[in-house]
Structures are given as C-alpha cells and as structure tokens.
Amino acid sequence: MSTLKVSFRKLGDLEFECYENAIRLHLDSVLLLRARSFPSAFALSVIASEEFGKGFAIEEIIYQARFQKGFNDRDKEYLRALLSNHKLKQRWFVNHAFDSPRSKRLIKKYQSIQNDKNNALYVGLRRGNHHIVGPFSVSKSKALDQVQTINDALIRLMEGTLSGDFGFEEVFDHVLRQRRILKKLKMAAVALKSMHDKPART
C-alpha cells in the first residue's frame, strides 16, 4: 500500500473542495426533489451530508496536527478511512452540523441512513424476509425531510457566521460567508416549504 502524502496546504484544499462539492450536491438534490425524483434526491442529499462530514473531519485532523507539529501515521490512516467509510463521514456531519437537542434525533436517524441511501439507489432484498426493496419505495415525505434538514442546517450556520454568533476555522468560515450561496439556500427553503402543501401524485 502506497504511503499517503499529506501537507497542511493539500488538506486545506481538500477540505475546501469537500464543502464546495457538498453544497453543489445539496442544491442538485433540491432540483431533483422539485422534479419529483424522490429516491435520487434523498440519496444525493445523504451523499452531500457525507461530504460535509468529511470536511469537518479533515479540519480536525489539521487542527490536531498543528499542535503536534505535523502529521503522523494515525492521521494518515484516519484520512484514508474518511475517503471510503460512509458511516464515519455521516457521524462527523451529524455531530458538527446541529445543536445538541436536534443531534440526538438525527443520530438515531443516521444509524440506518446508509441502508436507506443504498435502497434509494439499488434494487435488493431485505435481510430476514427477503422482500424486494428498491428506490421506488422512497416517499416524498422521506426525501423532503432529508433535503430540508440539510438546507435548514446550512442556513443556520451561514446566518450565524455572518451575524457573528458562530465562529469557525478559516476554511469553513470562508465558505459560510458566501452570500450568493445563502441566497440560493433561502430560495430553496421557499420551494421546499411549498412542497409540504402539495399532495404527492400517485
């Protein structure tokens, strides 16, 4: 296995790209939801949360490495895990994107979200009873709840940063201060709210 080469600059760039990609994926999930592609919207929203989680974890690796004057083998192993371990990224997202009361509910929800994401993408068989499961069982309400959860969290973080109520490290702070993104998120919030009032078509 080749040695993973890391530096503060490379990880800083990687962290930034994670956030930028997460926002892109999230906004695409809103478009899919509005197009009534509920399974794809749900799955893409979960992947967006994973990209945010990966960015949060990388920030912590950088923070700890500055104290220890560099990266050690454990940092590199953890970074390698972040590139492929979906549940690890999901945990980082839930633990860092929400306030404590809401985190408890989301932690419970995210315990099974990897299976839910897979079911939103693939046709398969449920363990135990072997019933067929697949994307078309993902409801509008399930997809809407997931996408809206991400949107609400981002608006809260961005508004809190711009008002000075929240303080984050340099890379994430820069991302959260992009008012054009906040404008898109608020437009998405209006669209998502309107979807609650529209009955799902059969």
Whether this prediction's pTM lies above 0.85 is answered by yes
Looking at the predicted structure, is the pLDDT value of residue 202 above 50?
Answer: no
Per the structure, the complete domain to which residue 72 belongs is given by: 8-196
Looking at the predicted structure, is the pLDDT value of residue 97 above 70?
Answer: yes
Band (pLDDT 50/70/90 cuts) for residue 10 is very high
Give the whole-angstrom CA distance, residue 134 versus residue 124: 6
Q: Are 168 and 162 in contact (CB under 8 A)?
A: no
Q: For the chain, what is the domain count? A: 1
Q: Where are the alpha helices (H) located in 98-178, listed in sequence order?
A: 100-110, 113-121, 140-163, 170-176
Residue 50 lies in a domain: yes
Residue 2 lies in a domain: no
Residue 123 lies in a domain: yes
Three-class DSSP category at 104:
helix
Average pLDDT over residues 19-43: 97
pLDDT tens per residue across span 143-178:
999 999 999 999 999 999 999 998 888 999 999 999
